[in-house]
Amino acid sequence: MIPIASGVRVWLAVGRTDMRRGMNGLAVQVQEALHRDPHTGDLYVFRGRRGDLIKILWHDGLGMSLYAKRLERGRFIWPSPADGIVAITPSQLAYLLDGIDWRMPQRTWRPTAAG
């Protein structure tokens, strides 16, 4: 889990993002498309076309980090692309990373027991 400090803002870049982009490409997208500074310590979350992969860009003051998570089944709940960027709380991000609808916390899929 990403160690999110209190006061850190989490931004969802709505719409589709090319998941072939790496750290530098996503930082440029934050600057040009979202008109924000990727070096402020905020978390920027991007989702791919299929919806089962997200990437999180974060600058912790020492350097840039890129995290990725792919769901085995289901899709990440994402807002409509009407707005360019949506702010969520760190607890909503935790729901999102667990595959739970962060707007109405309820598990969307639970793996069956092994064996």
Beta strands in the chain (DSSP E): 10-13, 43-47, 53-59, 64-70, 85-88
CB 85 within 8 A of CB 36: yes
- Residue 101: the pLDDT is 78
Mean pLDDT across the stretch 4-27? 88
All residues at 6 or more sequence positions from 24 whose CB lies less than 8 Å from its CB, including other chains? none
Domain span at residue 90 reads 11-97
Determine, yes or no, domain membership for 58.
yes
Determine, yes or no, domain membership for 56.
yes
pLDDT digits 0-9 by tens, 23-65: 999 999 999 988 999 999 999 999 988 989 999 999 988 999 9
Determine, yes or no, domain membership for 107.
no
Residue 41: phi, psi to the nearest 5?
100, 0
Determine, yes or no, domain membership for 68.
yes
CB 34 within 8 A of CB 13: yes
The count of structural domains within the chain is 1
Determine, yes or no, domain membership for 32.
yes
pLDDT digits 0-9 by tens, 62-100: 999 999 999 888 888 888 766 678 888 888 888 888 888
